[in-house]
Structure 1
Amino acid sequence: MNLSRLDLNLFIVFDAVYAQQSLTRAAEVLHVTQPAVSNSLARLRELFDDPLFVRSKGGVRPTPLARQLIEPVRAALATLNDCVSARLDFDPAVAQQTFRLHATEQAEFNLLPALLRALTRLAPGVHLEVVFLSRREVPLALASGELQLALDAPLLNHPELLSSPLYSDQYVCAFRAGHPLAGEPLTLSRYLAAEHIHVSSRLKGSGHVDLALRSIGQRRRIALRLQHYGALPGILEDSDLVASIPAGLARTWGLTVTELPFETAATDLHLFWHRTADHDPAIIWMRELISSLQ
């Protein structure tokens, strides 16, 4: 193989198709036409004497050779990117940039106020766009550059994502001041006798608290199910309902809380980014800033 005749842009196309699992989406990410992507793949297929990608439901999937090539190709592209961009050390004081983040609602409540204060002080030209995607969509969005970072529970198990833990929070039982449960130790029987609010972005299924109760053969009475936390403080203040929520949220709203009368798993938040962005100066700076807020 004569490297002097090799077009390195072909490997950028290869990386995009591998990440997007679709020629159409790869073309959109690269801002080229689909025929241009197809032509580049044809040249690579001839070069390696392998189809590299085969059609599958909803797109394409890599061949064994493509899976073998992707890591060295990405390592080489990252090295070249570092060389080109050793360049441009990120200067937050003068940067004019927008970061797009995926964040859970809990992350928004706990981190965004402090992050915005820090940006106002350190990087007045840096702005945020915060979105919420399904966990299935996040890896592709990070791979394509549609997202720069993601704040989520440690459930985004994907080989192309890197992560670091941000914090761990325990669940507490929250209710209004003057609630009948206030003032005395919360026993399991009193907890189970209350009517509960369950908050989950999912339409169905159990949360941490219900799984913990199930492990001891118990079940709480759920009077209200919500997909978002926003209405929770007002509902609790105006009723005798209780909610088992992360302690950080309860502190944010100044709710009366007590420890749960049973063991539950903590709720964890991690920061995720794509491995191809591991050396990007701007993303490194934002990662370090977010981590410093804990």
Structure 2
Amino acid sequence: MRLDKLDLNLFILFDALYQERSVTRVAVLLNLTQPAVSNALARLRQAFDDPLFVRTPDGMAPTPVADNIVGDVREALALLRRSAGVNARFDPATSEKTFRLGMNDLAEFLLLPGLRAIVSEQAPRLSISSYYVSRDGAAEELKAGRSDLLLDAPVFNARGLEQQRLGEFPYVVAMRRGHPLARRKLTEKAYLQGEHLHVSSRRRGRGQVDIALHNRGARRRVVMRVQNYLVAARIAQQTDLLWTVPRVLLPLLDLAWRPLPFAVEPLVWHLFWHGNAEGDPASRWMRERLQQLVTGVMAH
């Protein structure tokens, strides 16, 4: 490949197409005609000897070659922008950007209704796409631009990522209304004698509560392990299983609860993004909105 034959703007277009997955949207975003975008893509394909993007029912899907180079392209563009003191402009009132947020269903349940209200008022043309991101692939997901931001507990290797602490949520023990333990003080003995429900996207591994109990020389009996919180809430409503859950969720569910009879570290949420996006005004705008929402949720 001859770099001297490539225009820097081709890489800007590559980055935009990787994010937007639409020639039409890229043309609007970069103030180009659709034929100009197609011609630029043809030059990129020739330079890399690869299609780079292929048409699918869901838009222009990147090829493995595009997936492999996007991280380096974004890093190089970010470095050039920082060196030139230039950041992409972002006007929430007119932006048609799609923010890709990595979060679990608890974060979706607590934050996305409020985020939609903010976006509807401040950024009516902006879109949100939320999905689960594996912790093992989080850094690469952010570096490659497949996700803009990731909300998670700080329990994985965040090397190369920027982060900020959003807030923390204490745990309580939830149970169905009418549960034998719902109207009396919950002791550690009664807690350990009960059968438990646990939420985790992983197939195995201990949660925060199990680690705390292990440190006390104790162990609870988890008889059901599910992937998301809303399913767990439904199960807890219809069985005698005990569910140790962040208290912030309880006002939204038809469940009784009792305080935990032993100390457990709260659930902590951090927001992660790649260093390439540190100075990006769009990323900063969304980070501020998410911090605002988490602060509001914690206050209730």
Alignment TM-score > 0.5, same fold: yes
Tell me which residue corresponds to 1:147: 147
Shift of residue 250, structure 1, vs aligned partner: 2.3
Structure 1 residue runs of 5 or longer lacking an equivalent are: 17-30, 38-58, 61-70
In the alignment, which of 86, 90, 99 is matched to residue 83 of structure 1? 86
Aligned to 1:111: 111
1:283 aligns with 283
Identity %: 38
CA gap 1:82/1:137 in 2 versus in 1, 3 angstroms? farther
Q: Which residue of 2 aligns with 1:187?
A: 187
**What is the TM-score with the length of structure 1 in the denominator?**
0.73
The Cα shift of 1:113 comes to 1.5
C-alpha distance in structure 2 between counterparts of 1:159 and 1:34, whole Å:
35
SS where residue 83 of structure 1 aligns?
Answer: coil
Q: Which residue of 2 aligns with 1:177?
A: 177
- Give, in angstroms, the shift of residue 76 of structure 1: 3.9
Count how many residue pairs are aligned between Structure 1 and Structure 2.
242
Would the alpha carbon gap of residues 281 and 183 (structure 1) be closer, same or farther in structure 2, given more than 3 Å must change? Answer: same
Taking a change above 3 Å as real, the CA distance of residues 280 and 189 of structure 1, as seen in their structure-2 partners, is same
Alpha-carbon distance between aligned partners in 2 of 1:235 and 1:8, rounded to the nearest angstrom: 57
Q: Deviations over 1:99-124 (max 9, x none)?
A: 11111222112211211111112111
Q: Is the 8 A contact 1:153 1:267 kept in 2?
A: yes
Aligned pairs for 1:1-294 within 5 A: 32=44, 36=48, 76-80=79-83, 82-83=85-86, 85=88, 88=89, 90-293=90-293, 294=295
Q: Deviation per CA, 1:176-230: give whole Å up to 9, x if none.
A: 1111001111101111111111111110111011111111111112221112222
Counterparts of 1:126 and 1:170 in 2: how far apart (Å)? Answer: 33
TM-score normalised by structure 2 residue count: 0.72
> Within 1, Cα distance between the matches of 2:155 and 2:84?
29
Return the letter of the residue paired with 1:97.
K
CA-atom RMSD in angstroms: 3.1
User: How far apart, in 2, do the equivalents of 1:160 and 1:77 lie?
Assistant: 18
Secondary structure at 1:262 match in 2: coil
CA distance in 2, matches of 1:109, 1:76: 36
1:155 CA displacement: 2.5
Tell which deviates more after alignment, 152-161 or 281-290. Answer: 152-161
Instruction: Give, in whole Å, the separation in 1 of the partners of 2:214 and 2:251.
Output: 27
Deviations 1:247-275 (A, max 9, x none): 12223214211111111111111111111
Report the residue type matching 2:164 in the other structure: S
Q: Indicate how the Cα distance of structure 1 residues 275 and 193 shifts in structure 2: closer, same or farther if over 3 A, else same.
A: same
Cα drift, residue 8 of structure 1: 9.2
Verify the 8 A CA contact 1:78 1:276 in the aligned structure 2.
Answer: no
Classify the secondary structure of the residue corresponding to 1:154: coil
Change (3 A) 1:281 1:181: same
Shift of 1:150: 0.8
- The secondary structure found in structure 2 opposite 1:236 is helix
Evaluate the alpha carbon distance shift between residue 242 and residue 282 of structure 1 in structure 2; reply closer, same or farther with a 3 A threshold: same
In structure 2, relative to structure 1, the CA distance for the partners of 1:115 and 1:75 (3 Å cut) is: closer
2:171–2:244: 8 Å Cα contact kept in structure 1?
yes
Counterpart amino acid of 1:189?
K
**Distance in 2 between residues matched to 1:102 and 1:130, nearest whole Å:** 6
Alignment partner of 2:282: what SS?
Answer: helix
Task: Give the secondary structure class of the aligned counterpart of 2:229.
Answer: coil
Q: Does the CA-based 8 Å contact 2:199-2:229 persist in structure 1?
A: yes
* Paired residue secondary structure (2:196): strand
Q: Mind listing any 5+ residue stretches in structure 2 that lack a counterpart? A: 16-40, 50-67, 70-74, 296-300
